[in-house]
Structure 1
């Protein structure tokens, strides 16, 4: 019986484990891959306080070292379900079931992929899903942004502070973003549009992206476009399949919490990108984790009284 079971070892999960273990709680952290989450897929991080620049895997390792120092146990596992048994919870994995007084869900999310040719091959070499993370690497470059919703248009506007030109590619003839965001994009001299178009293929050399192939959905005309980078914003998918029957998800599959990271189940918390929230960054994940680790301690104190 653990005091805290953390599901996921990204920045949110590791911070939650750190705060809980520092409070002298017994903590188990379950991860299906290497600790670090999406940091392991990020070449360089320039927006984390205390570092001018740090490699994603290096920051992940530093966080993991801190967690280990205070006695957190680690286990590999693919979580299938969680059960609320009242005074304790169960985390059911493929090969084993764990019991804990509290659960902290930190499974994160993943960017929805288009599945086009070249997307996987050039990931991190011109294909990105985060303007805040990677925009500064594309100074004076020509970029494509795929999508027409709030995130796509907002990120396109953000990218104009670095890029020489940003082309928004949208499958319809009008944007889906809020009007105020659209107005900002239309007024920005660096932004142009490819309407009624979808991305068919991302092309490049052995090192980086050099172009893309677009198809007009109305005429089927193929257009070759030169570009130095492709930013894809067609949505995010929460990694919440194991919790679909727990009654803690919203209609889109994100975990709902209050400001203390508490879900609808007492003693079950959620942190980081898996939460229903607006900004998904390492810094916000760390903040969530610190709160949940402390709130788990407070919750366990009420059980002991």
Structure 2
């Protein structure tokens, strides 16, 4: 039995592992898809204090290496069930059971989809949710990005260095991203903003060949020929496996304050999976440290 079970191998979860191992606690981190979390999709991180710029992958690799060097155990398995036991908590992942005396939920959030017909079918055939992962496949071609926040503009900026033309489609009449990202986007001649429009249809049989766009003000539709669409319309939490263990809010986020304590004693929530007003790299790391220290304090009292 581990002292701490941590669900999620992103910035929050790995930071929690670092702090817990430095406190001498045994730690297992369970990650369902890929260690590093959302930050690995960022081509350039420029808002980490004390560092001018670093790629998201480099940042995540460094954090993972640090946690492993400190003695963290890790399993690439998705947790499908969680329950409280007499000695702590039990998690089901990959057909196996993992036990721990306390639990930190750092499940992050997953990419929100457009919920369009054939979106799932064309995923990987022109429809993507990660510009850094798939952008190179469409080098020299016309592409589109759906979204108006920081993630969307960062994706467009990254793709503008690879693709011939990047259409940036946003349903509102102005972008919601940081002004610095907007200015950078405006400085790229091959990024074409298409405001007050939303993607309402996907064209193509075996692969994406174009989009149907609808004007949000007039309802008028138009066709846009592109070979790829990168969806960047936000994230949603992935906390369903823990709904019977901790209280969730209406949007599915774990109810937990700045102390990272949940409704279930011995369970803590860190990072993007919990209720909060700001979801950034710095707040994920802060949550991870707070949750780990709180969990260690909990362990020392039982």
The two structures have a TM-score, normalised by structure 2, of 0.75
After TM superposition, the structure 1 = structure 2 runs for residues 281-300 of structure 1, keeping only pairs within 5 Å, are 281-300=280-299
Q: 1:179-228: per-residue Cα shift (whole Å, max 9, x none)? A: xxxxxxxxxxxxxx34xx5343599xxxxxxx9641358766324489xx
| Per-residue deviation, residues 73-103 of structure 1 (Å, max 9, x unmatched) | 1123221111123551111223111111110
Alpha-carbon distance between aligned partners in 1 of 2:214 and 2:153, rounded to the nearest angstrom: 28
Mapped to 2, the partners of 1:28 and 1:128 lie a distance apart of: 37
**Structure 2 matches for 1:1-305, cutoff 5 A?**
1-85=1-85, 87-114=87-114, 116=119, 118-120=126-128, 123-124=131-132, 125=135, 127=145, 130-131=151-152, 133-134=154-155, 144-148=168-172, 153-155=175-177, 159-164=181-186, 166-168=193-195, 193-194=196-197, 197-201=198-202, 213-216=212-215, 221-224=221-224, 232-233=232-233, 235-303=234-302
Mapped to 1, the partners of 2:215 and 2:85 lie a distance apart of: 54
- How far 1:158 sits from its partner (Å)? 6.5
- Structure 2 unaligned regions, length at least 5: 136-143, 187-191, 205-209
**1:121 & 1:24 partners in 2: Cα distance?**
38
- Alpha-carbon distance between aligned partners in 2 of 1:269 and 1:4, rounded to the nearest angstrom: 11
Question: What is the TM-score normalised by the length of structure 1?
Answer: 0.74
Q: Structure 1 58/23 Cα, relative in aligned 2: closer, same or farther at 3 Å?
A: same
Q: Distance in 1 between matches of 2:157 and 2:215?
A: 30
For residues 275-299 of structure 1, give each alpha carbon's deviation from its aligned partner in whole angstroms, at most 9, with x where no partner exists: 1122222221111101111111111
3-state SS of 2:75 partner:
strand
Q: Distance in 2 between matches of 1:26 and 1:215?
A: 54
Q: What SS does structure 1 have at the residue aligned with 2:264?
A: coil
Match of 1:185 in 2: none
Deviates more, 1:64-73 or 1:35-44: 35-44
Contact 2:129-2:230 at 8 Å conserved across structures: no
1:154-179 Cα offsets, whole Å, 9 max, x none, are: 238664333337443xxxxxxxxxxx
Alpha-carbon distance in structure 2 between the residues aligned to 1:33 and 1:5: 17
Alignment check: 8 A CA contact 1:17 1:293 kept = yes
Coordinate RMSD, CA, aligned: 3.6
Write the distance in 2 (CA, Å) between the matches of 1:35 and 1:29. 10
